[in-house]
Structure 1
């Protein structure tokens, strides 16, 4: 009789422990999702994967990441003479306009036709991030279809007088 009670108690304790672990994992997943949303809201960035479209209610605008045009950024772990730049194609359209294709770059360098910010319908659209960053094993060809961009969209006009000349990397 004592063995039955001991075995039954052990079984109940084990089942309660499994439920406890499940709740901990679920609450951890919720926390990480909340942190990601919080980061996006704090940075005021819109993340898009290649081919993804997002409708922005506040701006009444559709934004589509059409794809990467070029990615000449210096891979991590490699010494380069020039830092390089990533150039992307983004389609924007308001509820009252036709679609427009704009090209954005990871840096401003007008001499090479690299523009980081474009104005559309009274909003500055700025390319803030292009992910993933190339490395020695993953080049532009292997990353095709895996790119993600972060855009910042805010009211205002673009000032193209600010040009940088990135000669060296990190």
Structure 2
């Protein structure tokens, strides 16, 4: 009789233990499933754009215009190291490497052939710049995109031991926008070279400001 009672008690205890373990396993599995669902929900929420925001496209090639702009800026940066300085109309820069201050005062002429138009003559653009060395008075020079001594056009001027050339003028005029429309928005590139190169087209000196 006692043996039967003991067997019955052990059987009941085993059943209770199994039920407890099964309940624990079920609760653990439920928690894991809930965590996975919550994680997936958060991921979906993060990847979906907010209402009113544009959706991010995937697999599209980068914008070509942006690439061209970045490439041009890199080329400009590398050109600056080669002695070419870019100035906006009205901009002033102190060039430490040349011990001088340079100001692009204005573009006084732009008779270049408009973009997209066929012309008999290429035309000319002339920039007025003011230069001042560490120990010199300000000097105003006019540098052009073409050489024509009879008209006073010189592509290179000399100042303080440097030959300064006008190598670029932007933007180009068009049939819709001429010189007057572009005034104030011009940008030039000046190239500085050490020494006085032997060139009959190079004008020495300029207008000295008091």
Structure-to-structure mapping, 1:5-154, within 5 angstroms: 5-12=39-46, 32=70, 35-36=74-75, 38-41=77-80, 43-154=82-193
> What is the Cα deviation at residue 12 of structure 1?
4.5
Aligned equivalents of 2:103, 2:75: Cα separation in 1: 21
Compute the TM-score of the two structures, normalised by the length of structure 1: 0.78
Deviations 1:49-78 (A, max 9, x none): 011001111111000000011110010121
Aligned equivalents of 1:93, 1:40: Cα separation in 2: 23
Bigger-Rg structure (1/2): 2
Does the CA-based 8 Å contact 1:119-1:158 persist in structure 2? no
Compute the TM-score of the two structures, normalised by the length of structure 2: 0.64
Aligned residue pairs, count:
152
Does the CA-based 8 Å contact 1:61-1:94 persist in structure 2? yes
User: More relative contact order in 1 or in 2 (CA 8 Å, sep 6+)?
Assistant: 1
Does the CA-based 8 Å contact 1:89-1:103 persist in structure 2? yes
Aligned equivalents of 1:123, 1:40: Cα separation in 2: 17
Aligned equivalents of 1:93, 1:36: Cα separation in 2: 28
Aligned equivalents of 1:41, 1:76: Cα separation in 2: 26
> What is the Cα deviation at residue 111 of structure 1?
2.1
Does the CA-based 8 Å contact 1:132-1:147 persist in structure 2? yes
Aligned equivalents of 1:102, 1:42: Cα separation in 2: 23
What SS does the corresponding residue of 1:161 show, helix, strand or coil?
coil
Higher helix share: 2
Unaligned runs of 5+ residues in structure 1 are 19-27, 164-170
Aligned to 1:24: none
> What is the Cα deviation at residue 36 of structure 1?
4.9
Distance 1:162 1:102, change over 3 A: closer
Does the CA-based 8 Å contact 1:119-1:157 persist in structure 2? yes
